[in-house]
Amino acid sequence: MSQINRREFLKLVATASSAAVLTIPGTARAGAKGKVVVIGGGFGGATAAKYLRMMGGASVDVTLIEPNKTYTSCPLSNEVISGHREIKSLQVGYDGLKKHGVNVLHDTVTKVDPVKKTVTTQGGKTLAYDALVMSPGVEFNYAGVEGDSEELSNTVIPHAYKAGPQTLLLKKQLESMPDGGKFIIAVPPGPFRCPPGPYERASQVADYLTKKGKTKSKVILLDANDSFSKKGLFEQAWKNMFGYQAGGMLEWVPGASDGKVIKVDAKTMTAYTNFGEHKGDVLNIIPPHTAGKIAKDAGLTNAKGWCEVVPMTMESTVHKDIYPIGDACVAGEMPVYPMPKSAHMAMTQAKVAVGAILAKMNGQAAPVPFYVNTCYSTINPEYGFSVVHVYRVTDNKFVYVTDAGGVSPVTLGTKEAPQPVPPIQRKLEAEYCVGWFNNVMADAFA
Amino acid sequence: MRYRVILGVVLAGLLGSAHAEDSIEALANTCNNCHGVNGVSAGQSMPSIGGLPEAYLKNVMLEWKTGARYSATMGRLIKGYSDEQIAALAAFFSKKPWTPSAQTTDPKLVALGKKVSARCASCHGETGASSDGETPSLNGQWALYMELELKKYRDDAVAMPNKQMRKAAQKLSEEEVNAAAAFYASQKK
């Protein structure tokens, strides 16, 4: 019997590992048994529920708890405001998940007991879980802007940052704005959901006003931050289309130039910054936000109000067997490459959590996680661009893969001799935006 | 001897865990966001990829990675994947059944497309159901996706590597591009 030395041993292990990754079929999943409760029926929660059943089989009992019978997608809801899309096209019910065998409970979770591993609902139900997926989205902190309130946001100064009635209210306000009117968007301090959202909205609104001939109007972004997602791409489009930085329709006021809105008066329709005041015909005040209330109540949030997770599994760093996903979490190399709060990101996080939950039910190690984000923004149906993020997990840390990812090119050629991007690029990404949307809706809800 | 025992344990762990196969499936799940479960796309600008030839899928992804093939978005994504992962994904999706997508097409355009696409048949097959192991099937592929691809092949400003496809596409008018796409989109088999 020959001895195996250390070097041979390591070589064999390495060979076994790579072979295993690519060829060895696993069979262990079939036996997975357990109860999973999913809180929240947005992109993250719906994907988790569907994939638990799809990959875990019939022996995984999945209950999704969501108060609303219809979900309205936030992605592409700016196109409702500008009139390029009906809100109905963003809506979906939960029949698709039921077909996968997910129990859908239209109720609100009032309490999570991470020790007894139960959740209690407003309707008086108590459900036990082996694993809990926490996908509650965000909660708006109206107190973050003095004078703002939930009631005012529903009636006079909508945030429209959760798609639904406020989206339609903001659309109506835009449509009735006179030529020469002022449309003000107040951007909260980051992190907030959909990082390019406010800037895409400003673009869509400016495009609407331009095409309606209301060219004397102004669209003003009052921003608590000093930079933003896809800045170079937005600014290029704004310069070409809306006279940006040339006294035209669209203006961006960064935090450093007193852009942060701290107070609002809905009666006089005035937004106040530290040193200035801005009267608007439309005030789109987006309040700062944090993880959804139930995540906070369950003790899952950090001092800043967000859930922190273990990169390999998406399990909470606070409570075992709870997996916070989607807009409610923070993860990544803060503050440089945090995972963006996007639908796409929430869905890949959901898939990682599902892999980890099923592996644990089978007494196995969590599979290698893959995190990917793709996020399209459009100025109008002919002009779009994107940002891509790919993350790896190394030494239990999220690592942004710098070889990949990044934004669509602003220009081609060299820095010294830039060449314009072929027009087909913007057209393709505008089309891909719609294709992406139809696919994520199907992947999460059908 | 000691290492042998450890090796046995490690191997048993690797072979017996869900880790192994799940890696490909977990990887492929990230593609589902835009290309659908089993590679059946629900978005008209995004191609279905399940059941396309393994060699074609692998080749296209590698060309995106090196930049030999123009892409608006995919290149930035695929640079995050190793060549081994790309090969595994190509193998994974090629084994799924090809699923033509039901879609509405204009019969007049389809009729014109039948004529226009005669030149495509030698590689793609008369109905777009190709069988040479390298050419992608087109029957029931999304019309909009095929229009956009043909426009990429026609556009001199972007790098598309297949000379034959470039030459063929550049002979087509805008209407003929849409017609060819409509014809293949309408084919169910």
For the stretch B90-146, pLDDT in tens is 999 999 999 999 999 999 999 999 999 999 999 999 999 988 889 999 999 999 999
SS3 of residue A110 by DSSP? strand
Q: Which residues 46-85 of A are in CB contact (within 8 Å) with B? A: 51, 54-55
> Which residues on neighbouring strands pair with residue A219, listed in sequence order?
A183, A250
The count of residues in chain B is 189
Does ipTM come in above 0.85?
yes
- What is residue A107's predicted lDDT score, i.e. its pLDDT? 98
In a mutational test of the A interface, the residue from B10, B15, B29 whose CB has the highest number of chain A CBs within 10 Å is B29
Interface of A with B in 9-48 (CB under 8 A): 9, 12-13, 16-18, 20-26, 28-29
Q: Give the model's pLDDT for residue A33.
A: 83
Strand order in the sheet with A277-279: A261-265, A270-273, A277-279
Flag whether pLDDT at A88 surpasses 50.
yes
User: Between chains, do A370 and B29 touch, taking CB under 8 Å as contact?
Assistant: yes
Q: What is the model's pLDDT at position A18?
A: 41
Please give the model's pTM, rounded to 2 decimal places.
0.91
Q: What is the CA radius of gyration of chain B?
A: 20
For residue A237, which of A83, A74, A75, A411 has the smallest C-alpha distance? A411
Query: What residue in B sits closest to A407 (Cα-Cα)?
Result: B76
What is the spatial distance between Cα B25 and Cα B28, in angstroms, rounded to a whole number? 5
Average pLDDT, chain A: 93
Distance CA A187, CA B129 (A): 51
Residue B3's pLDDT band (cuts 50, 70, 90): very low
How far from A375 is each of A23, B72, B73, B153, CA to CA, in Å? 32, 13, 10, 25
Task: Find the mean pLDDT for residues A309-325.
Answer: 97
Q: Per mean pLDDT, which range of A145-154, A203-212, B4-13, B51-60 is the poorest?
A: B4-13
Q: Which residues of B117-153 are buried (b: 16+ CB within 10 A; e: fewer)?
A: beebeeebbebbbbeeeebbbbbbbbbbbbbbbbbbb
Contact yes or no for B141/B43 (Cβ under 8 A): no
pLDDT reading at A364 higher than 50: yes
pLDDT at B15 over 60: no
If we measure between CA atoms, which residue out of A376, A230, A396, A418 comes closest to residue A312?
Answer: A396
Residue A231 identity (one-letter amino acid): K
Spatial CB neighbours of A50, under 8 Å, sequence gap ≥ 6 = A96, A97, A100, A102, A444, A445
Are A44 and A326 a contacting pair, CB within 8 Å? yes
CA distance B93 to B24: 10
Task: Output the CA torsion sign for A204, A210, A213, A216.
Answer: positive
> Coil, strand, or helix at residue B165?
helix
Would you call A365 and B17 a contact, using CB atoms and an 8 Å cutoff?
yes
Q: Is the pLDDT of residue A353 over 80?
A: yes
| Interface contact A372, partner B, CB < 8 A | yes
Give the pLDDT mean for A212-226: 98
Rounded distance between C-alpha atoms, residue A413 and residue A427, angstroms = 20
For residue B10, pLDDT over 80 is answered with no
* pLDDT (average), residues B26-38: 96
**From the list A28, A368, A429, which residue is nearest B23 (CB)?**
A368
**B65: amino acid identity, one letter:** K
- Determine the Cα angle at B84 with ends B81 and B86, to 5°: 55
Phi, psi dihedral angles at A130 (to 5 degrees): -90, -35
**Orientation angle between helical segments A423-445 and A43-56, nearest 10 degrees:** 60
Residue B157's pLDDT band (boundaries 50, 70, 90)? confident
Provide, for chain A, the percentages of residues in helix, strand and coil under a 3-state DSSP scheme, each rounded to the nearest 5: 35, 25, 40
At B160, the pLDDT band (50, 70, 90 cuts) reads very high
- A–B: how many Cβ contacts below 8 A? 196
CB-CB under 8 Å, A429 with B73: yes
Read off the DSSP letter of residue A178. P
